[in-house]
Structure 1
């Protein structure tokens, strides 16, 4: 008697909110390192769970392409498919560019970000973090996610890209509205686009020491449209995952005794907690996607030409074939997939910017609110129900009220 083939797994629902790690373990047990999944509307795809298999996919852009025009399911995708913003038709941004053109665009972005002075970056992050905490410190309680982590990264990114400080709060609201995907999403997207094109027009007329001006000055021959698209992609990719990196790291430090020393006034565990999160609780769980250019085999599965392959970053980080002692602290091991891999991975200078913002945000908060503690049981903390990004819905905390910086005692 033959055992029936396990059914494809729906990539959505409450399991991604409650315990995605256990779900990935079940999928690996039932399907192996590459699992069949279905997306909204019963659209089929493959989720790569294995570390080695993910390395193979991201190392071979000729076979596993970023060109979404290859998808063999377009004829059944409706115009209002809810995942189109995540798995859309090819757009004029670096996300969907392939080959030499992609390498040139990535170089332009890396060069522009590499020129950001690390001391200035840290100074901007400290200033905006202090400004946000000044608005919270006298209250004695707050939601770290909604009132701090979700407001900080884009303020810093907007500043180094060339926006004025006065434009920052409006850009944060627009970006968060767009990410939330509710009634304000389209207005938020429109505000970001209009602001970006206005910024590029201003910097074309009067360049400054900022990322936008450096990208405009590059001689690789990219259009204003291409630069605007890439800057918007960089803002979105740099904001939400960094906000979740802050929130997830603070959750770990507030709930795990191994990191209690940091809350007693030291900083030595902050970097270790941040590294642990990138292994165990990475903000970017799954990434869409790659499309096969021909029939192939991967992880014992036959993958058809034009099939959609999703990158299971969180699952690969927990692959027992490479994490034989998953309970041990990861220390300085940076072999995680949390920033991707291959030519479409997050550019290294962008990783450095994200790490500087996240670490500064955590350190400033611990300095300013040294007795910060959870406002309720850790078991009551909830996650956003997303298979793509993993972050807390809220992180309510309490602390001793203190005056704002410069306030009269």
Structure 2
């Protein structure tokens, strides 16, 4: 059977149907083509995902193994999403990966979660103040995108003024368009300025704590690690906020609780991680040697893309994951939204992302209790990326309310 192009409107409009179709045709491991006819494998089986992410010896996250490097042009748009033997937490393996992970986790653990919540509440109020008196807003651009990066900017050590540039650069990186390479370079420049600033004027932030770590790292390593955690933390959290608000405004299971129960926010956020996870596909793993996976021959150096959403919706597992009569999985966290295994998202980062997203949504619902979708749900469109699943726009309406003076 021919390989499946990993682009096209179906990945944006109805990825669930897309995964069902390619699973029926190819099984849990699918041959795909990236832009430029670059071959790869997409893992969409729950068991196969567990196998790949749980075996770093056979399937390490080492892009230097990739057998397609000689065939790639220098301006290949997905290059920033793949990387290449960079000395960072995301692209190192074994002891070197653990060394970076220890440094990053130690820095994040020094951040006060009470401070993160305070920043999240204050910045959420400030953003809502800009539109609360109008009775209408576009929540993605006005709230879901700016909130996480403004909070992360403070946590990581960026000045607040860098927020708009960070939003623009990382959006371009995620979408993998013609401007991705330029955005990646500009993003790197902002990180260079941050590292230089924190060497001279350290503060109570992740960048300063990383530099203060006793293990020796170069400025280039700090830069690459900060780029990795900033992009991963912002892009996924912004889409987590947007997708959760969309679910609460369009799904009858949450309609009755918009004006009340706090549990509904938590349930909606967890349901999104199962059904509409921000990271649909994650690059990647590379086969250290020839192997067989679900009947497919994986050649040495082949790239495997982690189809996190496809694995979450695997029918062999999906039917047994619901934990309540209405199909919600509020107590089930066995999804792959944060990946799995040695290279999964560090726990402090998950904890911080959840706190930012949940606090922001709670403030939004407190401030605008009768918020409602202003367009038909079927007209909502998604960002043009098979890797990340976030909304382009989310127009809402509500009763106008006065500003509270948030900053």
Q: Note whether the superposition's TM-score is higher than 0.5.
A: yes
Match of 1:237 among 186, 208, 232: 232
Structure 1 residue 146, shift from structure 2 partner:
1.3
User: Any residues of structure 2 matched to 1:162-311 within 5 Å, and which?
Assistant: 162-176=157-171, 178-179=173-174, 188-311=183-306
Q: Residues 24 and 171 (structure 1 numbering): CA distance in 2 closer, same or farther, change over 3 Å? A: closer
For residues 139-190 of structure 1, the C-alpha deviation after alignment (integer angstroms, 9 at most, x for no partner) is 1111111111011111101101122334444444444455455676556444
For residues 389-408 of structure 1, the C-alpha deviation after alignment (integer angstroms, 9 at most, x for no partner) is 0011110001111111149x
Q: Which runs of 5+ in 2 are unaligned?
A: none
Asked if residue 82 in structure 1 is aligned to residue 106 in structure 2, the reply is no
Structure 1 residue 195, shift from structure 2 partner:
2.9
- Aligned partners of 2:386, 2:251: CA distance in 1, in Å? 25
User: Any residues of structure 2 matched to 1:28-43 within 5 Å, and which?
Assistant: 28-43=23-38
Q: What is the match of residue 123 of structure 1? A: 118
The number of residue pairs the alignment matches comes to: 402
Asked if residue 50 in structure 1 is aligned to residue 45 in structure 2, the reply is yes
Is the CA contact 1:155–1:172 (under 8 Å) kept in the aligned structure 2?
no
Q: What is the match of residue 403 of structure 2? A: 404
- Aligned partners of 2:5, 2:208: CA distance in 1, in Å? 44
Q: Residues 145 and 347 (structure 1 numbering): CA distance in 2 closer, same or farther, change over 3 Å? A: same
Q: What is the match of residue 349 of structure 1? A: 348
User: Any residues of structure 2 matched to 1:330-369 within 5 Å, and which?
Assistant: 330-369=329-368
Structure 1 residue 326, shift from structure 2 partner:
6.6
- Aligned partners of 2:337, 2:197: CA distance in 1, in Å? 35
TM-score of the aligned structures, taking structure 1 as reference length: 0.94
Is the CA contact 1:193–1:232 (under 8 Å) kept in the aligned structure 2?
yes
Q: Which runs of 5+ in 1 are unaligned?
A: 1-5
TM-score of the aligned structures, taking structure 2 as reference length: 0.94
Structure 1, 290-299 or 80-89: larger mean CA deviation: 80-89
Is the CA contact 2:107–2:209 (under 8 Å) kept in the aligned structure 1?
yes
Structure 1, 81-90 or 238-247: larger mean CA deviation: 81-90
Q: Helix, strand or coil: the match of 2:32?
A: strand
Is the CA contact 1:34–1:46 (under 8 Å) kept in the aligned structure 2?
yes
Q: Helix, strand or coil: the match of 1:262?
A: coil
Structure 1, 8-17 or 259-268: larger mean CA deviation: 259-268
- Aligned partners of 1:163, 1:239: CA distance in 2, in Å? 13
